[in-house]
Structures are given as structure tokens and as C-alpha cells.
């Protein structure tokens, strides 16, 4: 392999955590652990890490990544997929030098710009303008080079009115738009983008995907893209790495990798939801069970197009916490893991009080006259308290739709007519 054409190489890379001990590889996590210990509280980092893998009785360590080997050539666009807790974020943090490996070697040729989470690389007290120049300087660019790109960055992000406002006053969407614009336009050799783009609206997500495609094809820069959106991965990446339980489960053509991932998605539905380890969040409140039922409350998994369908989930309050408000979302996907809709309490400006007199409750979302075409569908479940993710589980439940008389005309329609059915009004004048 030509070393000059090599962009990234991982050689037997592992990342091991010791639960309950300090030194997480990140100073912020060390401070969190120290502050919790000082107050006599449980280590928040050990809580998160403990959900990823069962501990044995004789050890308190686990591997977020183990024996990772792969090489990426300059100009490649690589997708990285996997369930929650598979090691995706850890891999990107190693690559971005946010944390260091426990074992193995990582070789990187070129400058890296990373967009791993909202606010990455930004100083909250500095303005948008100041942060652009700060990030450019970190990438080794001169002030003249940054200035040449400045107008293009601001226009792409759509924040011209707020460019001289401290970014701590930006909404999460504005933050992400500017962060991506900076990362994509300041010409790094390697661009690393995590699921953070999901914060932006659909139009901006498409804009970002278009920019990443342009960056790779025209400039020959390397891109690593992590996403749960299989449509985005499929359209942007020719090669995809599938991580599973901290190891590379498959590395190959994107079409083949996604196929294997989707097969695993269906088999995981057989597991008990309360015992699933592939989840993210604080874990103070978790989903214990999810199911679908009809209007009368009878559980069923098969419905006709046009029937009313209720998605329900039982939540378990594991610790009495000071949070006051609950919001939730059920994201519906088809069999190819394409998101069809996001059923979200926040879109309806609904928040529920956290129950104080019991340790469980049931969330329900009713869909009158389900407009889906025949087929099988999955749903993800997400629960927040005061906008903090408590539990997030991919492919938590599923249901099936069969042909039904949606329009009340005695006619039925199959998938050949699309994905959804919509009530219509026609006229000819």
C-alpha cells in the first residue's frame, strides 16, 4: 500500500475503561467524576459506560473498542454505522485526538476538522466571527486564508445577522450550522462528522450532504461520516464500516454493509427491551417495554391502512431525580431504516410531569387513520427530561400494515403506489 496515498490507519487499536476509577482520557470527564465523588454521588461516566457491556464478577473494566484494524485512502468517503454503544463515538474521539487509545497505533496524514457534538471547537464567550478565526488558526491557516473563506462560511451557515453575537446565545441549530460551515470550508485534509447534523433541519442536512460530496470529489479530501440515517450513508459513502460491540463486524461496500446491519436490526427485536445494552442516555428513566395497540387498548402488531394505531411504551423511573418534565419521541422507519416520521411531543409543545407517586408509567401516541402503505415498520424510542436524553433505543419495536380501505371507496393500494396515503381534494374548473 502506498503510504503517500494513505489518509488514516488503525493498527490493533483498543480503548479500555476502568469503571469507578479516574482518568477517562478526557479532562472534562475526569472533572465530572471528581465532582460526583466529592458530593458522594455515583460517577456519571461509570453509569453511562456500564450500560454498554455487562461486567463480570472479577473485573470492572470494559472495552469500548477492541483490536480495530482498518486503512483509509486519501479522498475516500467512509460511513460508520452501528447501534448505540457500538463504539462509533469512541472511534471518532480517538481519531480526533480527544482521547487516546489504550493499545495500538493510529496513523494520520493531514489536518483534521471534527464535528462530534454541538459546540465542538467553539468558545462560548467568543462571537461567531471570532470562533471562525480561532478554528482556522487551530487548523494552521493564516488570517488571510481564513478571511478569504469568511463570507462563504457565513452565507452557508445563514447566521450573518448574529455573526458578532457570542455563540453561547445561539440556538443548537445555529451552533451546528456554523460549526459545520467552518469545518467544511476551512479545507482540512480529513473531515469527521458525527450524528450531530441531526440537530439541523431537513433542508440544512441536505445542504451539508451536498457540501460533503463536493468536498470529497472536487478537493480529494477524506470524510468519515457517522449516522443512523441509512439513506444519507447510502447516497454519500461508497464504503461503510459496521461496528458491533466495540469491534468491526463488517467493512465493505456500503450496500452490503447496510444489508448486514438491517438483518441484525430485525433479530434484535427478539430481545427484552429492558435488558438491551445498546442504549444511550443518563439512564435515570428507561423504556421497559414498547408495543402497538388499537383504539380499545388491545395489543396487536398488524393493522390495516386507515385504521387507528397506538404506539405505547412503559417507562421505569429508576431513581427519584429532580427533573420535572418528560418529553418523548417515537421515530418510525421502514425496513430499509429510512425515517418516515418523527412522532415527537416537542413538535406539539407537550411536556408531561415526571410521576412522583409511582415508579412506572405508560406513554401513548395515537395515530388516527394510519396513512402507511402495506409493509413492515420499526420504531426507535427516545425519552428526555428537561431536554436531557434519559434513554434512546434504536429499533425498539415493530408493527405491520396490510392493505385497507383508507379512502372509504372500497379500493386498496399497495407499496407500488408509494409509501404513504394522503387525503385529497380534487377539482376541475
Q: Which residues pair with 384 in a beta bridge?
A: 327, 389
Percentage, residues of the chain above pLDDT 70: 86
How many angstroms separate the CA atoms of 338 and 104, rounded? 36
Confidence (pLDDT) at 130: 94
Buried-exposed string 216-243: b where 16+ CB fall within 10 A, e elsewhere: beeeebbbbbbbbbbebbbebbebbbbb
Q: Is 18 exposed, middle or buried (0-12, 13-18, 19+ CB in 10 A)?
A: middle
Q: How many residues does the chain have?
A: 429
Confidence (pLDDT) at 314: 96
| CATH number at 3-264 | 3.40.50.300
**Global pTM exceeds 0.85:** no
Half-sphere exposure in the Cβ direction for 257 (13 Å, CA) = 24
Cα–Cα distances (Å) from 252 to 78, 263, 264, in that order, read 10, 16, 16
- Identify the segments of the chain with pLDDT beneath 70: 1-3, 19-59, 117-121, 196-202, 416
What CATH superfamily classification does 276-406 receive?
abc- transporter (atp binding component) like domain (2.70.50.60)
How many angstroms separate the CA atoms of 236 and 233, rounded? 5
Q: Which of 227, 214, 251 is nearest to 75 (CA)?
A: 214
Query: Is 241 in contact with 79 (CB distance < 8 Å)?
Result: yes
How many angstroms separate the CA atoms of 250 and 266, rounded? 17
Residues 86-102: tens digit of each pLDDT? 899 889 889 888 888 99
How many angstroms separate the CA atoms of 4 and 107, rounded? 12
Do β-strands 112-115 and 190-193 pair in parallel, antiparallel, or remain unpaired?
parallel
Half-sphere exposure in the Cβ direction for 383 (13 Å, CA) = 30
Buried-exposed string 381-412: b where 16+ CB fall within 10 A, e elsewhere: bbbbbeeeebbbbbbbbbbebeebebeeeeeb
**For the packed helices 202-219 and 172-185, what is the interaxial angle rounded to 10 degrees?**
10
Query: Is 18 in contact with 60 (CB distance < 8 Å)?
Result: yes
Confidence (pLDDT) at 21: 53
Confidence (pLDDT) at 386: 84
Confidence (pLDDT) at 56: 42
Confidence (pLDDT) at 347: 86
Residues 224-259: tens digit of each pLDDT? 988 887 878 888 898 999 999 899 999 999 999 998
Query: How many CB atoms are closer than 10 A to CB 291?
Result: 17
How many angstroms separate the CA atoms of 421 and 401, rounded? 12
Residues 131-176: tens digit of each pLDDT? 999 888 877 778 898 999 999 999 988 899 999 999 989 887 788 8
Domain chopping of the chain, boundaries: 3-264, 276-406
Amino acid at each position: 500500500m502506498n503510504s503517500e496515498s494513505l489518509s488514516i490507519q488503525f493498527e490493533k487499536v483498543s480503548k479500555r475503561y476502568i469503571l469507578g476509577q479516574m482518568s477517562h482520557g478526557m479532562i472534562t470527564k475526569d472533572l465530572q467524576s471528581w465532582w460526583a465523588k466529592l458530593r458522594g454521588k455515583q460517577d456519571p461516566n461509570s453509569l453511562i459506560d456500564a450500560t454498554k457491556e455487562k461486567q463480570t464478577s472479577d473485573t470492572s473494566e470494559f472495552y469500548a473498542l477492541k483490536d480495530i484494524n482498518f486503512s483509509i485512502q486519501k479522498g475516500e468517503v467512509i460511513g460508520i454505522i452501528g447501534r448505540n454503544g457500538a463504539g462509533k463515538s469512541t472511534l471518532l474521539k480517538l481519531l480526533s485526538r480527544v482521547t487516546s487509545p489504550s493499545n495500538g497505533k493510529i496513523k494520520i496524514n493531514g489536518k483534521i476538522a471534527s464535528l462530534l457534538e454541538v459546540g465542538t471547537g467553539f468558545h462560548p464567550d467568543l462571537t461567531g466571527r471570532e470562533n471562525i478565526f480561532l478554528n482556522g488558526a487551530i487548523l494552521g491557516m493564516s488570517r488571510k486564508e481564513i478571511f478569504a473563506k469568511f463570507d462563504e462560511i457565513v452565507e452557508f451557515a445563514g447566521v450573518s445577522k448574529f455573526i458578532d453575537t457570542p455563540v453561547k446565545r445561539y440556538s443548537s441549530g445555529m451552533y451546528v450550522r456554523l460549526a459545520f460551515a467552518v469545518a467544511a470550508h476551512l479545507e482540512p485534509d480529513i473531515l469527521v462528522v458525527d450524528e450531530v447534523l441531526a440537530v439541523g433541519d431537513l433542508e440544512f442536512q441536505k445542504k451539508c450532504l451536498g457540501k460533503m460530496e463536493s468536498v470529497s470529489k472536487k478537493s480529494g479530501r477524506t470524510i468519515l461520516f457517522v449516522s443512523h440515517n441509512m439513506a444519507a450513508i447510502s447516497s454519500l459513502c461508497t464504503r461503510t464500516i459496521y461496528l458491533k460491540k466495540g469491534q468491526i463486524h463488517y467493512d465493505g461496500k456500503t450496500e452490503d454493509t447496510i444489508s448486514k446491519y438491517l438483518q441484525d436490526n430485525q433479530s434484535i427485536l427478539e430481545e427484552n427491551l429492558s435488558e438491551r445494552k445498546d442504549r444511550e442516555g443518563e439512564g435515570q428513566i428507561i423504556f421497559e417495554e414498547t408495543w402497538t395497540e388499537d383504539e380499545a387498548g388491545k395489543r396487536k402488531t398488524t393493522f390495516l391502512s386507515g385504521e387507528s394505531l397506538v404506539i405505547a411504551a412503559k417507562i421505569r423511573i429508576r431513581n427519584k431525580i429532580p427533573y420535572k418534565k418528560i418529553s418523548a419521541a417515537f421515530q418510525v422507519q421502514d425496513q430499509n431504516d429510512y425515517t418516515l416520521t418523527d412522532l415527537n411531543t416537542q413538535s406539539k409543545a407537550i411536556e408531561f410531569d415526571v410521576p412522583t407517586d409511582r415508579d412506572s408509567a405508560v406513554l401513548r401516541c395515537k395515530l388516527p387513520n394510519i396513512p402507511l402503505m402495506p409493509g413492515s415498520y420499526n420504531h426507535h424510542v427516545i425519552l428526555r427530561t428537561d431536554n436531557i436524553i434519559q434513554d434512546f433505543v434504536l429499533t425498539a419495536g415493530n408493527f405491520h400494515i396490510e392493505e385497507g380501505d383508507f379512502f372509504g371507496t372500497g379500493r386498496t393500494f399497495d407499496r407500488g403506489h408509494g409509501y404513504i396515503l394522503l387525503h385529497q381534494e380534487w377539482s376541475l374548473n
